[in-house]
Chains A and B, each alone.
Chain A
Amino acid sequence: MTRKQLSQSIAFNSFRLVSLAVVSILFVILGFILIKGIGVINWEFLTSMPKDGMTGGGIYPAIIGTLCLIAGSMIFAFPIGVLSAIYMNEYLKESFLKKLIRTMTNNLAGIPSIVFGLFGMALFVNTLKFGDSIIAGSLTLGLMVLPVIIRTTEEALKSVDDTLRIGSYALGASRLQTIRKVVLPVAFPNILTGLILSIGRVSGETAPILFTVAVYFLPKLPSGIFDQVMALPYHLYVLTTSGTNVVESRPMAYGTAFVLIMLVLILNLLANLIRRIASKKTKMN
């Protein structure tokens, strides 16, 4: 073996090891939480109120709270994100405006989540007087994931072959008709993937909801959009750090982490599944 080959094989083998390390980090974290958490999970844990100072009962209100926040933020952010991406990709030519929007969207994506928390508190909670509420939290979370939705939708639209658009125009369809009947149906699976991934992001965020909606202990379900709710990530945070019985409530914390991880796993799996089906379909065409 020459020196050239030797250095290459050393390099590539160490590369392999490092990549393996990355994979094992993931499996260690997932494995640890899944193994420690599975014992806690039962029907009662998922469907009952917390009790005995968070050392017993379940996490039902936190699950419902997180679902409310997912729904609230998506109702608001998904249409705006998709419309925005359509405008950027189908209407705007390369121009100053497009560059500006893109830069601003990237900047929004780079704003730290805790700054979103501050902003949400200042605008929705205090200035618009929503108080700590589902709507304040949902709007804050929605604005936070907006760049994710825009980016994934744009990617989805870009991946639609231009010949399809041209063909549609050639048949006399208008731009709007082309978007509705040709572009969107083709791009739909990838847009859906983006939606699923942003749901994952929303369900795990804590910092933006700290001061806009989340509450430590509230053993009842919300009755309207101006109610406070518990939420899974915040629940995990208080269970591990600021609860009064940190040691006794440890099993509850493992269980909550388990539910969060499962949520993320399922969403990721779903996204990958849709992606795979979609790419198979395009190949067949």
Chain B
Amino acid sequence: MKKLKRIFDKITHGVLFTSSMVTSVTVLLVIVFLFKEGIGLFNQTAVENHVVVVVNSANSVHELTSKQVKDIFNQDITNWKEVGGQDLEITTRSIDDLAGQFTEEELGTDMVNLPTLIDQYISDNPGVIAYFPDTYLKKDFRSKKIPLAKISVKEFISGVEWYPTSQPAAVYGAWPLILGTLWVSLGAILLALPIGLITALYMAEVAGQRLRNMLKPVVELLSGIPSVVYGFFGLVVLVPLIQRLFKLDVGETALAGSIILAIMSLPTIITIAEDAIRTTPRALKEASLALGASHWQTMTRVTIPYAKSGIIAAVILGIGRAVGETMAVLMVTGNASVIPHTFLEPVRTIPATIAAELGEAPFGGTHFKALFALGIILFIITFIFNMLVETVKTKKV
């Protein structure tokens, strides 16, 4: 009987232990899977698998970056001398252009003649650059394949253009997205911080018990409203308002995102700051009052300094929430992946980019991996914020 009981105790203990490890294991799994999918991006070029970019063999250009290829095919670069070649007009040809140049007769059944025709065409035209699947690459090809530089971490983070679907080479520069995320979050915190702290102080120090009991559910409800509903409200009320107020072409701006995010991060800031303010020992406050300080002086000189680390934690957590918020931001910021200059321009954040594009990115392709790489950046940013909160909190004790 005793033995049975001991076994039973062991089992309970085991079950409890296993349950409590779930969160830790999940965090590890999140890291593993993000990196597993995201790191693969940096091992390949931005060209789709089995697609080659080809120029005439006399061309003196030996290597192009993804961005150069994109600019060439967008006609932003029209002369080879702009990318270090001879003074020669660039002609661009996609696979469709190439196939469209020839009659069905010339192509033959199942386009058997296409490789030869492509080879001929490129050899005849010194200024041409073309891309097509490598199945159309003739064995004794006379032209020159252009190797594209592999995507580097530096390029991914500091690149200023995000064109994930441009053909033949996608451009993955996350810098505008990182900046967009930080802009919107910073704007949000600038708005939410004074309001949140004042409300927290009011609830903890000034308001009576009854008023506090009325404010608490308000804050809880604010945090309970789903982010899509905030986004929806922002889209139908705030965005038109901003558009009219500032006489803009579109109301979907960083400002709209910041305002909505500010409202959404209020509950976090208020709750944590209020808890922190409440920890100030009564004795300290009473001593201050006994020395003749007013309630207000006690608050600014005693309570707030004492609760400083908790207030900082509230701020950091608030920013962390804002950085990761997806749906509301996606719905109101306009999602233009350009580096923002003012708060009245559309911006695009990292979470919004992932949410908007993952559905269309082919599984396992570079675009798919690039979005996971964005997820890594986001994870690292929020992880740093969380760790900061932990250190700020423990310092106090």
Contacts and interface: CB of A to CB of B under 8 A. Distances in A.
Contact of A105 (B23, B224, B225): B23
Contacts of A19: 198-199, 202-203, 207, 215
Contacts, number: 250
A22 B382 contact: no
Nearest to B21: A101
Contacts of A206: 226-228, 326-327
Contacts of B235: 240-241
Interface string B312-333: 0000010010011111001100
B220 A207 contact: no
Interface in B370-388: 371-372, 375, 378-379, 382-383, 385-386
Contact of A147 (B23, B224, B295): B23
B252 to A, nearest CB: 11
A236 B355 contact: no
A126 B363 contact: yes
A146 B326 contact: no
Contacts of B29: 119, 123
Contact of A22 (B206, B266, B325): B266
Contact of A4 (B13, B207, B294, B351): B294
A25 B262 CA distance: 11
A114 B389 CA distance: 21
B382 A110 contact: yes
Nearest to A250: B236
Interface stretch (B31-39, B52-60, B151-159): B31-39
SS class, residues of chain B in contact with chain A: helix
B291 interface: no
A108 B16 contact: no
Interface residues of B, number: 82
Interface in A88-127: 88, 91-92, 100-101, 103-108, 110-119, 121-123, 126-127
A26 B294 contact: no
B17 A87 contact: yes
A18 B197 CA distance: 10
B232 A253 contact: yes
B193 to A, nearest CB: 12
Contacts of B217: 268, 272
Contacts of B16: 83-84, 86-87, 91
Given A7-B296, A23-B215, A15 B206 contact: yes
Nearest to B29: A123
Interface in A222-274: 233-234, 236-237, 240-241, 250, 253, 257, 260-261, 264-265, 267-268, 272
A112 B23 contact: no
B30 interface: yes
Given A119-B33, A176-B9, A260 B228 contact: yes
Contacts of B375: 114-115, 118
Contacts of B324: 110-115
A147 B26 CA distance: 11
6 contacts: A108-B30, A115-B379, A118-B371, A150-B23, A204-B224, A204-B226
